[in-house]
Amino acid sequence: MSDPIVIDHDTLQRLSNLWSQRQHDAEDRQKPFTWDDGAHGNLGIAWVTKLGVDGYQLGKEMSDGIEGIRSNLADRIKKFGDHAYELHWGLDNLMRNSEACEHFNQMTADGFNAAFPQAGG
């Protein structure tokens, strides 16, 4: 039998730390490849490559292939970093919100009704 799924504060904190680290790892791996200037093989802009002389179809196809790889790689790195940030932020937000309302876990039904206003009243 498999282990039960446990979602508690420690688990959420561990996952938040993991995704925070992965976000930083993605940022660190992007540093050698600048995104804004033309230095260091900028992944953020198209690379101008020319293989062979004008009209050399194989050279053009290879250049287009290299550009496709660059474009896909840049897109995947950016999306990974964005998703890692969003997941880290979401987990932190979930923990903050759950801590803010944790005292409600011990409420009785009468206590719940007393804490929240009733409609029409």
Quick: pLDDT tens for 37-76. 555 567 777 777 878 888 888 988 898 898 899 888 888 8
Please compute, for residue 59, the number of CA atoms within 13 A of its CA located in the half-sphere on the CB side.
Answer: 9
Q: Is 19 exposed, middle or buried (0-12, 13-18, 19+ CB in 10 A)?
A: buried
Instruction: Determine if the pTM surpasses 0.75.
Output: no
Model confidence at 121: pLDDT above 70? no
Segment 1-11 shows an average pLDDT of 74
Segment 67-93, tens digit of pLDDT: 899 888 888 888 888 888 888 888 888
Domain positions in the chain are: 12-100
Which residues fall within 8 angstroms of residue 62, CB to CB, at 6 or more apart?
Answer: 49, 51
